[in-house]
Structure 1
Amino acid sequence: MPIRREHRYFYPIDWPQLSAVIRFRRAKGRCEVCGRPHGETVWHLGDGRWWDAQAGSWRDGAGQVICLAVGADDVLRSVRTTRAVLAAAHRNHDTADNANGNLAAFCQRCHMNHDRPEHQRRRWRTLFRRKASGDLFSGPYG
């Protein structure tokens, strides 16, 4: 996902090069959590399980090889496809901390899972601010 215009100044000027080193040199073009390959279309079941065509096996959301029970899941009916795209992410959500240990290569799913608590915190703060502004200028919410 591209960096928002208002957040661009929080990142270093060489962020594209730093991101490429993390995603392709260190992580070798695969998500560091689940192992999905960058730029390839993968089959997945929507719950984190996905087909690793290179290894010829199903993997779970943590990248571990799993076996699907025969008859337990109607796999062909629930298979979806998605194109995996890697992004460099800050583990501690601090864009000023660009230490090697703080940066990780995540696919979209793992990046959203990693950022979920931060997104929930920001959502709560935005809603709280809107309500406070409404109370201050328009009276209590109806």
Structure 2
Amino acid sequence: MPIRPENRHRYPADWPAISLRIRTERAAGRCECHGECGRGTHTGRCPNRQGQPAYGTGSRVVLTVAHLDHQPENCDDTNLRAMCNGCHLHYDRDHHRQTAAATRRAALAAAGHQPLFGLADIITTPCARCGAQATTRAHCRPDLLVNPDPAAPAGADSAPFCAPCADWVVSAWRGTNHAPCGRDRATWAAWTTPLPDHGTA
């Protein structure tokens, strides 16, 4: 996976050599995922090989190296796994959600927006759908954003959700109620409000 510029300093100077050794010598050009990615699309070791068509999609496989603990500083061989781009993206999906939420929170804070909840509130706020730790406040009734109801109490159009459930709620609402706009970044930003960082990264 491409290294984001802001994370480049977290990788050792010899990272290219480490990555090449894991991908070519240890993995012999084949994805080392044995299902830890959670895709559920292969049993045993993933059959994808560098530069070959990926099973199921036919797209060209790019072999990458995943840090199992998501810490680029930890380059011990036991923490590294050669993964095809599909397995790597799926393995990192929750980590990507968390870092994206942190980026949104930072952008909102930089723009002067105040969080909807205080620290004490979010620590004890469960997801309205699954009960997990809430990280986002999603609009259950996005129609109220388009046609506000002045009689509705503040917050009546939204509830706290974890990131996966917030995604589900927004998608489900669009699927059953014919939302007035497409689900793009602007729509997601309008329908969700990240909650403050509560130190559980």
TM-score tier by shorter-chain length is: 0.5 to 0.7
**Equivalent position of 2:53 in the other structure:** 41
1:41-88, CA deviations, whole angstroms, 9 ceiling, x for partnerless residues?
2351xxxxxxxxxxxxxxxxxxxxxxxxxxxxxxxxxxx420001011
**Relative to structure 1, is the Cα distance of residues 127 and 93 closer, same or farther in structure 2, using a 3 angstrom cutoff?**
same
Query: What is the SS of the residue equivalent to 1:104?
Result: strand
**Equivalent position of 2:31 in the other structure:** 31
**Equivalent position of 2:99 in the other structure:** 122
| TM-score, length of structure 2 as denominator length | 0.47
**Higher RCO (CA < 8 A, seq sep 6+):** 1
Q: Equivalences for 1:41-120 in 2 at 5 Å?
A: 41-44=53-56, 80-120=57-97
**Equivalent position of 1:3 in the other structure:** 3
Query: What is the SS of the residue equivalent to 1:95?
Result: coil
**AA paired with 1:39?**
G
**AA paired with 2:97?**
Q
Query: How far off its partner does 1:24 sit?
Result: 1.2
Query: What is the SS of the residue equivalent to 1:39?
Result: coil
Say if 2:28 is the partner of 1:16: no
**AA paired with 1:85?**
V
**Equivalent position of 1:60 in the other structure:** none
Contact 2:52 2:61 in 1 (8 A): yes
In structure 2, distance between residues paired with 1:86 and 1:136 = 40
CA RMSD of the aligned region, Å? Answer: 2.0
**Relative to structure 1, is the Cα distance of residues 2 and 127 closer, same or farther in structure 2, using a 3 angstrom cutoff?**
closer
Runs of 4+ in 1 over 4 A off after TM superposition: none
| TM-score, length of structure 1 as denominator length | 0.65
**Equivalent position of 1:75 in the other structure:** none
Identity fraction in percent: 38
Q: When the two structures are aligned, how many residues end up with a matched partner?
A: 103
Query: What is the SS of the residue equivalent to 1:6?
Result: helix
In structure 2, distance between residues paired with 1:31 and 1:24 = 10
Instruction: Give unpaired runs (5+ residues) of structure 2.
Output: 34-45, 115-189, 191-201
Query: How far off its partner does 1:28 sit?
Result: 1.2
In structure 1, distance between residues paired with 2:75 and 2:104 = 30
Contact 2:66 2:80 in 1 (8 A): yes
Query: How far off its partner does 1:2 sit?
Result: 2.9
1:81-108, CA deviations, whole angstroms, 9 ceiling, x for partnerless residues?
2000101111001111111100000111
**AA paired with 1:11?**
Y
Moved more, 80-89 or 124-133: 124-133
